[in-house]
Amino acid sequence: MEYFSLTLHEALRRLDTGEISSVTLTESVLARIDSVESTVQAYLALDRERALRQAEQADIVRSKGQAGPLCGIPLAIKDVLCTTAMPTTCGSRMLEHFIAPYDATVVTRLAQAGSILLGKLAMDEFAMGSTSENCAFKLPRNPWNPNCVAGGSSGGSAAAVAADECLASLGSDTGGSIRQPASLCGTVGMKPTYGRVSRYGLVAFASSLDQVGPLTKDVRDCALMMNVISGHDPLDSTSIDQPVPDYLESLRDGLKGMKIGIPREYFGHGLDPEVDKVVRQGMVMLEEAGAELVEVSLPHTGYCVAVYYLIAPAEASSNLARFDGVRYGFRDRSADSLIGMYNTTRSRGFGDEVKRRILIGTYALSSGYYDAFYKKASQVRTLIKEDFARAFAACDLIVSPVVPTPAWKIGDKADDPLALYLSDILTLSANLAGIPGMSVPCGFSREGLPIGMQLQAAHFNEAALLRAAHNLEQRAGVVGKKPALV
């Protein structure tokens, strides 16, 4: 039996019955990594010995009847989350050897739940990008076609789950970085409501947009992960003190009485016909499960890319000012003055895309331009938020594609930042509005590449997302289909 291919909940069941041990499971996943990682290229750090020690420990804990909700489950996380046990590079030369002095709250929660941390996953540098091609160390591949991108910025998190190199992972989503790679790699991915999951120990990209969330093999696994990572954290002032429902409960029901909105602006120009077809088939499945489909309008959708690509770089330029060669990570030692050291450290430590964002952001925030750019963008952001509030008065969920096209060939858009920015059009608005969004595998293109459906809900209505996603998953018949790796 290939235990590495189990879903998280199926593995838990077998651990519970004693059919497998965590050591067996972890060894199976490590063997899987050995056989496919040279193709998939998802891991920036992997600690086998530690994982096996933790697995032994988990088996002991379980035998004493003290198993936590993820006891003995091997997981991996995006390398943007601080860990004391392994380096946290954010995919950047700037932090190449950086070991964080503390664990992110989500890392602590996963550990307290009994899970095993296998390693850290590849990503676009500082989470800026849509293909993971901006990673300074590795380029994760799409397990369904290794010549194609896995998406980004959590490309490693999606590729590792899709390739069965871990049972589930965490990513971060500032403008689509969980949902987009999940869609391109055929995994489930959820960006929770802003404030639902602690950002403490998540290296900041754009603080008003960033959120941590799970990438999993199916919807039940997503609910299990959400149960563990959600909830208030006094260490993150933006985390919200609101009770966390048991997300597994939301998987019980059909969709009778649920109104699902279809935003006409999301099905416009530039949408690949195959994506359009697969997502529309998914809508029919939701209807068959009892939902009523209604048309809604999000009239400011056309401004999302412009607004996001001002606000996110502006916040990034401020957040990344701390990487100055003095406080963290890399320092260029050849300079002979302080200013010179700042200059050469940042010139050598950051890649092109990060520099581009810092330049755009610094410009947009500079005196005389602030009103014209950042302030204006913030005002339009409010309009985008109001679009959603109006739409959610008429429906419970909004469905759409996640990405306008299936995964593309590595290199195809690498020299065209604007084309990449535009491909984010369908995912940015959830971050701008702070609402939860999810990608659920819906079907495949003719070339066999996965296509996801995006579900979006009002603030703190993750339960409705999971319920609809679970119903879709039962009908779409995608779960259990595996890429033909090796």
Residues with catalytic function: 78, 153, 177
| CB neighbours of residue 416 within 10 Å | 10
Residue 88 touches ligand GLN, criterion: CB under 6 A:
no
CA 432/CA 418 separation, integer angstroms: 19
Instruction: Please work out, in degrees rounded to the nearest 5, the angle formed at the alpha carbon of residue 211 by the alpha carbons of 207 and 213.
Output: 165
CB 387 within 8 A of CB 300: yes
- Name the segment binding ligand GLN (CB under 6 A); options: 15-23, 105-113, 172-180, 242-250: 172-180
Segment interacting with ligand GLN, rule: CB under 6 A, options 33-41, 122-130, 321-329, 471-479: 122-130
**Residue 454 makes contact with ligand GLN by CB under 6 A:** no
Separation CA 224–CA 115 (nearest Å): 12
Among 22, 88, 130, 227, binds ligand GLN (CB under 6 A): 130
Stretch that binds ligand GLN, among 3-11, 27-35, 175-183, 320-328 (CB under 6 A): 175-183
- To ligand GLN, the closest distance from the beta carbon of 218 in angstroms equals 23
Nearer to ligand GLN, 111 or 185 (CB): 185
- Using CA of residue 216, residue 221, residue 225, residue 231, what is the dihedral sign? positive
Residue 93 in contact with residue 351, Cβ under 8 Å? yes
Q: What number of chain residues touch ligand GLN (CB under 6 A)?
A: 13
Answer yes or no whether residue 129 interacts with ligand GLN by CB under 6 A.
Answer: yes
Q: Which residues contact 128 (CB under 8 A, 6 or more apart)?
A: 134, 153, 205, 316, 353, 354, 357
CB closer to ligand GLN, 129 vs 443: 129
Output the smallest distance, CB 353 to ligand GLN, in A. Answer: 8
Backbone angles phi and psi of 401, in degrees to 5: -70, 165
CA atoms within 13 A on the CB side of 4: 20
Please identify, using beta-carbon distances, which residue of 250 and 439 lies nearer to ligand GLN.
439
Residues 187-226: x where in contact with ligand GLN by CB under 6 A, - otherwise, as a string: ------------------x---------------------
Q: Which is nearer to ligand GLN, 26 or 130 (CB)?
A: 130
Q: Is 127 in the site for ligand GLN (CB under 6 A)?
A: yes
Q: Which residues contact 51 (CB under 8 A, 6 or more apart)?
A: 26, 30, 74, 116, 117, 118, 119
**Stretch of 5-13, 26-34, 125-133, 450-458 contacting ligand GLN, by CB under 6 A:** 125-133
177 scored as a contact of ligand GLN (CB under 6 A): yes
Q: What is the footprint of ligand GLN within residues 467-486 (CB under 6 A)? A: none
With respect to ligand GLN, which residue has the nearer C-beta, 128 or 260? Answer: 128
Pick 11 or 311: Cβ nearer ligand GLN: 311
Among 105, 142, 153, 461, binds ligand GLN (CB under 6 A): 153
Q: In whole angstroms, how close is the CB of 132 to ligand GLN at the nearest point?
A: 10
Alpha-carbon span 455 to 471, nearest angstrom: 12
DSSP per-residue codes, 289-350:
TT-EEEEE--TTGGGHHHHHHHHHHHHHHHHGGG-SSSSSS---TT-SSHHHHHHHHHHHHS
Q: Residue 465 in contact with residue 399, Cβ under 8 Å?
A: no
Contact in structure between 438 and 472 (CB atoms under 8 Å): no
Q: What is the DSSP letter of 210?
A: -
Of 174, 183, 187, 250, the one binding ligand GLN by CB under 6 A: 174
Q: Which of 79, 173, 265, 315 binds ligand GLN (CB under 6 A)?
A: 173
Between the two ends of the chain, the Cα-to-Cα distance in Å is: 17
Residues 399-428 as x/- pattern, contact with ligand GLN by CB under 6 A? -------------------------x----
- Supply the minimum distance, in Å, between the C-beta of residue 405 and ligand GLN: 14
Q: Give least dist CB 476 to ligand GLN, A.
A: 25
Query: How long a stretch of residues is the chain?
Result: 486
Q: Write down the least CB distance from residue 154 to ligand GLN, Å.
A: 7
Tokens of residue 120, six digits:
């850290």
List Cα–Cα distances, 152 to 77, 142, 378, in angstroms.
14, 11, 25
Instruction: Tell me the residue nearest to ligand GLN as measured from the CB.
Output: 177
CA 132 – CA 153 distance, rounded (Å): 5
312 binds ligand GLN (CB under 6 A): yes
Q: Where are the strands (E) in 163-288, listed by range?
A: 168-173, 188-191, 211-216, 259-263
Binding segment for ligand GLN (CB under 6 A), chosen from 26-34, 107-115, 124-132, 443-451, is 124-132
| Helical residues (DSSP H) of 252-295, grouped into ranges | 273-288
C-alpha–C-alpha distance, residues 145 and 127, integer Å: 23
Q: Which of 143, 146, 176, 213 binds ligand GLN (CB under 6 A)?
A: 176
Nearer to ligand GLN, 7 or 183 (CB): 183
Does 155 help bind ligand GLN (rule: CB under 6 A)? no
Contacts with ligand GLN, residue ranges (CB under 6 A): 127-130, 153, 173-177, 205, 312, 424
